[in-house]
């Protein structure tokens, strides 16, 4: 296990161990000195519900996706076990404060992700399908420390050589018994957990604010893009129009993939979509003018609306730099009758209708003709289109600013974990 200080970094107050340099007053303990493993259950989602029951069940899928390092049982929805089978299965032993629930299976190397259960109070909680239920030995750890430590690379890197499987990755109980855990002084554990949980609280508050803003935006889209709510100063009718009446050119890419992808004109795929605007290839793939000419490739001009016509039907982005792409997309070059930003928001809500129109057995597909004849409802006034788009763009800007702030705090947290959980920075004297 690497992650502590190197020999070159070692200074007074630190010691060399077989897992690296750590503070002199820290211990390293074997897994079996640290935890007792309690039998879990193997109940699938079919036996769980979100409405009612006596016992709650922590499913490995929720550990991997929904729950963080600390699972606040008092403020987090944990599924119930269906009452019909509770009496037949539950062994009456329930999760206690500070227990660790580890996912033993995943589709990737996130195997081993953990949640420390806190604020259990009177809830009856058990460890569910594909989990290890780990009970820390008494007197070793303070609330919150293990949740952060066992999700950090200091611990998780020990699991990586133990993971096996191809389509599904897993680790066995016997294999994790050889892993080791850092044990700082208890007051330092508390200080570390408090510092990291404070940052998590900021991240959580920002995440909730982002979700609220997104919900507001969805409500505005529902009202403004359908004409149910009109902006002040605008009247008149909305028209049902075929796209060919408002699109000056439909660009269908060539089928063949470029033979060389080292030029300055971006070659973009669905993987390069990152928000409303498409500016570059995230993999830095591109073509030169010679390749464009030789292969008769189609260049999409700025302000073309790219719409997926195959995989991810209805996925949209506005071109902000001339680029080329594959047949996953069709390019809609707007006429002076339609605001491209309004068209983006309008088409991004048409995915269900587009999917219903699609043909094909293995891969759904929409033809150019289908797009040409596709009908949408739009304000007859372009000024109203622009006003609606501006409001929704402002929403997007607010959301993006909050997401950037949240991402910054996440970066800060990762840096703090690296410093605090290795003892490079001490919070006690």
Q: What is the structure's pLDDT at 196?
A: 96
Q: What is the structure's pLDDT at 286?
A: 86
Is there a single domain that holds both residue 51 and residue 166? yes
- Residue 14 falls inside a structural domain: no
Is there a single domain that holds both residue 31 and residue 124? yes
CATH number at residue 213: 1.10.287.1120
Q: Taking CA 113 as the corner, what is the angle to CA 185 and CA 169, rounded to the nearest 5 degrees?
A: 140
Strands 105-106 and 14-17, sheet pairing: unpaired
Residues in the chain predicted with pLDDT less than 50, given as ranges, are none
Q: Which residues contact 200 (CB under 8 A, 6 or more apart)?
A: 68, 69, 70, 413
Going 331 to 332 to 336 to 342, the CA torsion angle's sign is: negative
Tell me the H-state helices in 225-262. 243-246
Is there a single domain that holds both residue 47 and residue 137? yes
Going 289 to 293 to 296 to 301, the CA torsion angle's sign is: positive
- Residue 1 falls inside a structural domain: no
Helices 382-420, 186-224: inter-axial angle, 10-degree rounding: 170
pTM (2 d.p.)? 0.81
Is there a single domain that holds both residue 374 and residue 392? no
CATH number at residue 364: 3.90.220.20
Torsion angles phi and psi, residue 28, rounded to 5: -120, 125
For the chain, give the longest Cα–Cα distance: 78
Is there a single domain that holds both residue 72 and residue 134? yes
- Using alpha carbons, select from 47, 181, 197, 26 the residue that is nearest to residue 119: 197
Return the structure tokens found at 277: 């605007």
- Residue 152 falls inside a structural domain: yes
Which of 380, 402, 421 is at the close of a domain? 380
d(CA 109, CA 417): 20
Tell me the H-state helices in 225-362. 243-246, 289-295, 340-347, 351-357
- Using alpha carbons, select from 29, 124, 21, 23 the residue that is nearest to residue 78: 124
- Residue 21 falls inside a structural domain: no
- Residue 13 falls inside a structural domain: no
Our count of domains for the chain comes to 3
Is there a single domain that holds both residue 131 and residue 102? yes
d(CA 407, CA 404): 5
Is there a single domain that holds both residue 170 and residue 31? yes
Say which residue the tokens 């290795």 belong to. 422
Intra-chain end-to-end CA distance of the chain, in Å: 27
d(CA 304, CA 333): 5
Say which residue the tokens 């498409």 belong to. 278
Q: What is the structure's pLDDT at 18?
A: 75
Is there a single domain that holds both residue 213 and residue 250? no
Q: What is the structure's pLDDT at 427?
A: 86
Is there a single domain that holds both residue 346 and residue 389? no
Nearest 10 degrees: Cα torsion 162, 166, 168, 170: -10
d(CA 196, CA 134): 22
d(CA 235, CA 351): 28
- Using alpha carbons, select from 103, 114, 31 the residue that is nearest to residue 70: 114
Strands 265-268 and 324-325, sheet pairing: parallel
Is there a single domain that holds both residue 138 and residue 248? no
Say which residue the tokens 């790219």 belong to. 306
Helices 382-420, 340-347: inter-axial angle, 10-degree rounding: 70
Is there a single domain that holds both residue 148 and residue 85? yes
Is there a single domain that holds both residue 416 and residue 364? no
Return the structure tokens found at 90: 């539950």
Which of 165, 183, 201 is at the close of a domain? 183
- Residue 396 falls inside a structural domain: yes
Q: Taking CA 183 as the corner, what is the angle to CA 180 and CA 188, rounded to the nearest 5 degrees?
A: 150
Q: What is the structure's pLDDT at 130?
A: 93
Q: Residue 359 belongs to what domain range?
A: 237-380
- Residue 11 falls inside a structural domain: no
Q: What is the structure's pLDDT at 291?
A: 86
């Amino acid at each position: 296990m690497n992650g502590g200080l190197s020999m070159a970094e070692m200074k007074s107050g630190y010691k060399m161990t077989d897992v690296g340099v750590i503070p002199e007053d820290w211990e390293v303990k074997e897994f079996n000195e640290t935890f007792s493993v309690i039998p879990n259950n193997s109940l699938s989602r079919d036996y769980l519900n979100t409405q009612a029951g006596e016992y709650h069940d922590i499913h490995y899928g929720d550990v991997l996706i929904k729950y963080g390092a600390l699972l606040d049982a008092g403020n987090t929805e944990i599924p119930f076990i269906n009452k019909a089978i509770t009496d037949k299965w539950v062994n009456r032993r329930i999760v206690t404060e500070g227990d660790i629930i580890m996912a033993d299976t995943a589709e990737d190397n996130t195997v081993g992700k953990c949640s420390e259960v806190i604020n259990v109070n009177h809830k009856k909680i058990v460890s569910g399908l594909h989990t290890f239920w780990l009970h820390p030995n008494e007197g070793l750890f303070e609330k919150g420390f293990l949740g952060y430590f066992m999700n950090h690379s200091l611990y998780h890197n020990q699991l990586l050589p133990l993971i096996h499987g191809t389509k599904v990755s897993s680790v066995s109980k016997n294999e994790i018994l050889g892993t080791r855990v850092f044990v700082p002084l208890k007051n330092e554990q508390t200080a570390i957990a408090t510092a990291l949980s404070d940052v998590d609280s900021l991240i959580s508050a920002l995440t909730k604010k982002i979700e609220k803003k997104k919900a507001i935006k969805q409500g505005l889209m529902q009202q403004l893009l359908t004409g149910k709510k009109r902006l002040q100063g605008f009247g008149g009718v909305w028209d049902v129009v075929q796209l060919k009446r408002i699109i000056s050119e439909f660009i269908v890419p060539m089928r063949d993939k470029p033979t060389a992808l080292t030029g300055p004109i971006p070659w973009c795929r669905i993987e390069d979509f990152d928000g409303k605007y498409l500016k570059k290839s995230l993999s830095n793939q591109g073509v030169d003018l010679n390749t464009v000419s030789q292969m008769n490739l189609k260049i999409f001009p700025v302000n073309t609306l790219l719409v997926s016509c195959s995989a991810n039907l209805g996925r949209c982005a506005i071109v902000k730099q001339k680029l080329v792409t594959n047949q996953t997309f069709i390019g809609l070059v707007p006429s002076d009758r339609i605001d491209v930003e309004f068209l983006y928001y309008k088409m991004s809500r048409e995915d269900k209708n587009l999917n219903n129109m699609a043909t094909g057995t293995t891969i759904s597909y929409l033809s150019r003709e289908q797009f040409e004849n596709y009908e949408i409802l739009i304000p007859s006034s372009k000024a109203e289109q622009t006003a609606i788009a501006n409001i929704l763009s402002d929403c997007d800007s607010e959301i993006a600013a909050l997401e950037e702030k949240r991402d910054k705090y996440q970066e800060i947290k990762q840096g703090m974990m690296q410093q605090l959980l290795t003892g490079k920075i001490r919070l006690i004297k």
